[in-house]
Copies of this chain bind each other. A is one copy, B any other.
Amino acid sequence: MSSIKDVAREAGVSTATVSHVVNNTRFVSDEVRSRVERAIEACRYYPNAHARSLASGNSRILGLVISDIANPFFPELVKAVETAAFERGYDVVLSNTNYDADRASHYVRRFIERKVAGVALLTSELDKKLIEELARREVPVVFLDVGEAGLHMSNLRVDYETGIEEAILHLVSLGHREISFIGGPPHLRSARRRLEAFRSAKQRLFPDAADGVYFGDFKIEGGRRAASEILAGGKLPTAVMAANDLMALGAISEFRAAGVQVPRDVSVVGFDDIAFAALSEPALTTVNLPLGELGKHAVEALMETLSNPDQQGIEITIPTHFIVRASTAPARLSPDGTKHARKAVRVKS
């Protein structure tokens, strides 16, 4: 199609002038400007983004790396990032790693080749080499829950502690003493952070309680499996907290299938507050993680680094807060949770 040269010829000016009209980068007299604008129309001129990026050295592309778009945790995050980027004239290249670090690396390499303006690494599976590579190339980066922010590298720090502590205090106030936890895959950083927050809150309240930690995969199926392990364990806890809503929902469905009613027999608490948490039956009591905020801040952090290069990245804390819905209720009376005892409770209620 037609290039800037065609427009320049059509308007009888140099390509530089056309460029300045298009980008508003220098004053151009009204007369020339309108001539150029007419020529642009006539030629149906669309600037070539690649030529532009090559010449200018930057790309107005943001790379977004997430683990699994099919996990309802992410779409809202993606949406927020996309919206914030669009407002600033950036395009978002999406990369879905399926929790696979190799795939993340592969994608980041592509991002570097594309000279992306910044990368939002909103996943847990990243290897050190990747981060080093990004650091070496001086690509602005924003992480989720990585320990340290660095040069060009910002960090979004989710305050898991507050929300999880609120959740546990709520359970305690309902009389719960035996609280199990369904964690995510331990190799994921976010899973570890959530688990730690749970353990430290629980330890503070019940220094001698059993650990009661099971592991899932952050998906529904993993919640089901963990719930059936819990059921098989014999002693049913009075409450179960899951590291994310998906697993909480899976656990509820497994409990129900086994004839254990939520919240009558067991209370269940989730984490994330995905859209369906409010809609499930019973509506899920959970900890809200403001994903929209998170996505917005991710883009803002990148923009910050872009406008102040050679500067330390920023650290943003994302708050969480507890939301009571219908999946939690006072603890059943029986002190232990054997199947027999549970049945007895059911009769009483």
A-side interface residues toward B, CB under 8 Å? 1, 44, 46-51, 53-54, 59, 61, 68-70, 72, 74-76, 78-79, 82-83, 86, 91-96, 103, 107, 109-110, 112-115, 136-137, 220, 249, 253, 256, 275-276, 279-281
Distance to closest chain B CB from A48 (angstroms): 7
CB distance from A224 to the nearest CB of B (A): 10
Partner of A113, one of B47, B78, B281: B47
B-chain residues with CB within 8 Å of residue A279 when the two chains form the complex: 220, 249, 253, 276, 280
Contact of B59 with A69 in the complex, beta carbons under 8 Å: no
A91 to B112, CA, bound (A): 13
CB-defined contacts of A82 to chain B, threshold 8 Å? 69, 94-96
A69-B75, A92-B93 are contacts. A49–B115 as well, Cβ < 8 Å? yes
Given contacts A50-B59, A54-B51, A82-B96, is CB(A70)–CB(B275) below 8 Å?
yes
14 A-B pairs, CB-CB below 8 angstroms? A1-B137, A46-B109, A50-B59, A50-B114, A61-B93, A69-B79, A70-B79, A82-B96, A91-B95, A91-B110, A92-B93, A249-B279, A280-B280, A280-B281
Assembly CA distance A70 to B82 (angstroms): 12
In the assembled complex, the Cα of A161 lies from the Cα of B96 at a distance in Å of 33
Q: Which residue of chain B lies nearest to A54 when distances are taken between CB atoms in the complex? A: B50
Least CB distance, A318 to chain B, in whole angstroms: 19
Q: Give every chain B residue within 8 A of A256 (Cβ-Cβ).
A: 281
A160–B89 CA distance with the chains assembled, in angstroms: 37
Q: Tell me how far the C-beta of A342 lies from the nearest C-beta in chain B, rounded to whole angstroms.
A: 21
Instruction: Contact check, B136 vs A44: say whether CB atoms are below 8 A apart.
Output: yes
A92 to chain B, nearest CB (A): 5
Interchain CA distance A94-B74 in the complex, whole Å: 14
Q: Contact between B112 and A46 (Cβ–Cβ < 8 Å)?
A: yes
For the complex, what is the distance from the CA of A96 to the CA of B75, rounded to whole Å? 11
Residue from the set A93, A253, A279 with the largest chain B CB neighbour count within 10 Å: A279
Whether A91 and B74, one on each chain, are in contact in the complex, defined by CB atoms closer than 8 angstroms, is no
- Distance in angstroms from A41 CB to nearest chain B CB is 13
- Among A51, A70, A78, chain B packs the most CB atoms within 10 A around the CB of A70
CA distance A137 to B103 in the complex (A): 33
Given contacts A249-B279, A253-B279, 11 further A-B contacts (CB under 8 A): A47-B113, A49-B113, A50-B115, A70-B76, A74-B75, A75-B75, A79-B96, A86-B103, A256-B281, A279-B280, A280-B280
Whole-angstrom distance between the Cβ of A130 and the nearest chain B Cβ: 13
Please indicate the chain B residues that have their CB under 8 angstroms from the CB of A72 in the complex. Answer: 72, 75, 275
| Cα-based distance from A136 to B136 in the complex (angstroms) | 42
